[in-house]
Amino acid sequence: MASIATCFTLPPKPHPRLISKPSLFPIRPSTSPPLPPFSTRLRHSRPSLTLARAGLDALTGIKPGAAVESDKLPSDVRKRTMDAVDACGGRVTVGDVSSRAGLKLNQAQNALQALAADTEGFLEVSDEGDVLYVFPKDYRAKLLGKSFRMRIEPVLDKAKAGTEYVARVSFGTALIASIVLVYTAIIVALSSSRSEDDNRGRRGRSYDSGFTFYMSPVDLFWFWDPYYYRRRRVQSEDSKLKFIESIFSFVFGDGDPNQGIEEERWKLIGKYITSKGGVVAAEELAPYLDLKGGTMDDETYILPVLLRYEGEPVIDEEGNILYQFPSLQRTASSQRSGRKEYVGRRWADFVVGVDKFFSEKKWQFSSTSISERALVAGLGGLNLFGVIILGAILKDSTVAPVGFIKFITSIFPLLQIYAGSFFAIPLVRWFIVSKTNADIEKRNRARLKSARALESPDISLRRKLLSARDMAQQTVIGQDKIVYSTDKDLIEQDYEAQDWDRRFREIEKSD
């Protein structure tokens, strides 16, 4: 506990509720005489006034129409932000988007600014200095009409998927092609050798040996038919791989099963913190994090959460260290905070709509069935055996390197590499998968253990959780709290901005 306390001796940082950034709209105070003072709720402390004024000053930067600002965002950040905006009904705070999309606060703010600039969204400022982003219902259509990148992304995604499919099928086709070439070369070489021994002058005319083999290059294309094995074999589900793709799966596996799971982890954490009114104990987040040494003795495991959501430690009346996230306590939509609903209830029953702990998926060696794996391994072994035999034959000086044999000799190193790597890669991968799964199992057990500790907390942990619920708060910013909006008439907006700015300056000077 002492180690975590020493991590927070840094000077206090600015309130994360409103960060001054270049504006979306070129709005400047006019020189017109001010209207009579308007009625606002200016009953707040200097930090809130300063932040609100910073919000007004931030409205003078990005000029809409000059460029598509959303194209400068990473595609993943843009998509997650838009999904969060849709989930919140088009009116959001930075904290709403950060918690729902699992983004860092600065990422969420930059994305919201860019989207608002491109889609004719506008800002609202509350009497406490909170900034809300409001988007029109058709903002996606407006953005799609401006952004060439968004229009081309679906095409690129399909092209990427097609390329991956071609790679998988090509590797499987290469095994069939290798077997055909290797055993054809063996037959040709043996026939040529017998012809030399018989001294019949038919060197290189192996087709007279009594064996006839013909395969048109077109015949390989049936391997490329995505629906071939679906027609030839009755499959109950599409989850079964086609045989040619199962060859690639056997050698290289099926990719990371936890791809994109970090995004889900941060969504869970953000959703949990928000549902608890922005104040939590470290033990509450342990089921979602990677615990150092698998225990909760050292609370440094919560540092990544504090950095992402700009949280800060607070001390309750009993001396317990809790963690507050001010930006996640301000929302544009009503959400349950669960302040005192915990009393007399199990933690498992109390958590609503959030998974009890974060679980990683284990890696599979291959998604193929046992019979498919045996067939693939058998073909690979047949190919490896043929390459070994062909290598011994090619070392025989009596075999003349002409025609087809000359071609096979030139590509023989590639055939050897393919045959050897067909088993070397899966062997190495098996050890890696085993070690990775052991680590995943260890982390999952630690998170499950911490989740079970919360289901039946001891007296000290229970008092700590109750204290966190008592300190929790959530401010829903409704229309009644809005004192400034960039969506208003320009003249009215200039007057109000000028009067508001004057009032802020007067109050700041009086301090």
Same domain, residue pair 158 and 139: no
Give dist(CA 29, CA 496) in Å, integer.
Answer: 9
Same domain, residue pair 12 and 127: yes
What pLDDT score does 483 carry? 79
Same domain, residue pair 33 and 143: yes
Contacts 24+ apart (CB under 8 A), 210-218: 211/187, 213/184, 213/187, 215/180
Same domain, residue pair 126 and 179: no
Same domain, residue pair 93 and 119: yes
What pLDDT score does 227 carry? 41
3-state secondary structure labels for all residues of 30-90: CCCCCCCCCCCCCCCCHHHHHHHHHHHHCCCCCCCCCCCHHHHCCHHHHHHHHHHHHHCCC
Residue found under tokens 């095994």: 175
Q: Which CATH number covers residue 128?
A: 1.10.10.10
Same domain, residue pair 34 and 176: no
- Domain of residue 126 covers 2-149+483-510
The structure's pTM equals 0.70
Same domain, residue pair 129 and 97: yes
What pLDDT score does 21 carry? 38
Same domain, residue pair 193 and 62: no
Give dist(CA 94, CA 74) in Å, integer.
Answer: 17
Same domain, residue pair 33 and 85: yes
- Number of separate domains in the chain: 2
CA dihedral 488, 493, 499, 501 (to 10 degrees): 100
Q: What is the DSSP string of 184-213?
A: HHHHHHHHHHHHHHHT-S-TT-GGGSS---
φ/ψ of 390, rounded to 5, equals -65, -35
Same domain, residue pair 370 and 228: yes
Same domain, residue pair 161 and 23: no
Please, what are the averages of pLDDT over each run of 10 residues along the chain (511 residues)? 43 40 37 36 39 47 64 92 93 93 93 92 87 92 90 90 87 91 88 59 42 40 40 40 82 89 92 92 92 77 93 91 92 57 41 70 90 92 93 74 82 93 94 95 91 89 92 86 72 56 65 59
